[in-house]
Amino acid sequence: MLSPLSLKVLSFLFPELPVKGEKRLWDDLLTACPKLLGELREKRLTPLIYMQLLQRNQHQKLPPAFLRELRQDYASALKIAARQEQAAGQIIKSFHQAGIDFLLLKGADLRIRLYDDASLRRTRDLDLLISPLDISRVRSLLENLGFSLESICADKRPGFRQAFGNELEFLPPSADSLMVDVHWEITGPSQFYRLSFAPLWNKSVLLDFQGIPVRVLSPDHALIHLCLHTLSNFLTFREDSLIHLIDLALALRTFSISWPYLLDEVKHFRCQAPVYLMLQAMAQISPVLVPESVLKMLSNYQPTWAEKLVLHRTLGCFTGHFSSLYHHCTFAEWFFYISSVLWPQRDYLVAIYGKPDRVRFVRHIFKILFSSAQNRY
């Protein structure tokens, strides 16, 4: 269920689409509602709203003080985006010089293909998809550039993260620069759905990034990724992620999607259920975004019992653990996973707590168990 704000913003940004629901954002803008300004800033949407007003020549109708706030946010976004693009360019050049293949993901890609102006699509990090064979090389490269591994990405046991995770997060050398998220798989809700690097790389397309040729997901794969990512946010945080809904609407309106190919790909990656849920949600917002025949084809798929557990989050905070164990079926893998989660190595505790505080870790485990039991009952 979309929030009233989401419906208002979507109907304002896409006036040509028959968006269902609320259509009063313009009225709220005219009244200079302070609450609205706060909500738009929280969602990082004020630069996008400001540019839309300029392009439609509606900005002069707004109260001067409110317009000034929007203008200042846009000016600030321009400066931040310029710094981020410069930092991203340096990282991309370093990857090219090292001969490491990668795909540009999420905001860094969508800024170019969907928004044209980087300041209109705020992002906090640079997402890259790499081959799992290059994880060590990428880590060394980024550390040589001054990046440091985020503490939450420390290995519970040697090899744990690469075996059961899908990304590493790196903190930048300066606070005003970009974090770097390195992925070796694209995953869906609770990491249950997984898209490996090789088939995505084989169908990738070239894009110009500040004069540097980079590869990005094909339009069809990018749409699948957006569906998985947006649904993951909704299931995890129980609220619609407005910027990702805007990304989805722009992708559906902008990309040249081969729907028969997309249907084949979601079947190949076995992610029919989550893609259907998101495309159905977008069709409910505006029926013209998704062909009815595509929704009908996807609706014929019956999710497995495991998918139902994940999509309904029946296991609560243990859903991610279930996904990991589901994809690793041997006793040795299960033993390695469970022992690592319940009794991680000393270095992991030091990375998380600053010292090998196992008592604190055990208390944390019991707190999670207690909280989960309360939520269920």
Question: What is the per-residue pLDDT across 21-51, written as a single tens digit (0 to 9) for each?
Answer: 545 777 777 777 788 889 899 999 999 999 9
More confidently predicted of 80 and 5: 80
Considering 264, 287, 310, which residue would you say is the last residue of a domain? 310
Q: Is the pLDDT of residue 375 over 70?
A: no
Residues 199 and 344 in one domain: no
Q: Same domain for 112 and 159?
A: yes
Same domain membership, residue 259 and residue 326: no
Q: What angle do CA 205, 210, 215 make, to 5 degrees?
A: 20
Give 317's pLDDT tier (boundaries 50, 70, 90): confident
Residues 71-81: what's their mean pLDDT?
96
Closest CA to 323 of 200, 236, 225: 236
239 with 205, same domain: the answer is yes
pLDDT at 377: 47
The number of folded domains in the chain is: 2
Q: Which residue segment(s) compose the domain that 365 sits in?
A: 313-376
**Are 258 and 217 members of one domain?**
yes
Question: Helices 64-98 & 135-144, crossing angle to 10 degrees?
Answer: 120
Same domain, 123 and 174: yes
pLDDT of the residue at 183: 98
Quote the percentage of the chain above a pLDDT of 70. 95
Q: What is the arithmetic mean of pLDDT over 356-377?
A: 78
Beta bridge partners of 103: 129, 215
- Domain's final residue, options 264, 282, 310: 310
DSSP state of 114: I
pLDDT above 60 (res 2): yes
- Does the pLDDT value for residue 194 go beyond 80? yes
For 83-132, the pLDDT digits (tens) are: 999 999 999 999 999 999 999 999 999 999 999 899 999 898 999 999 99
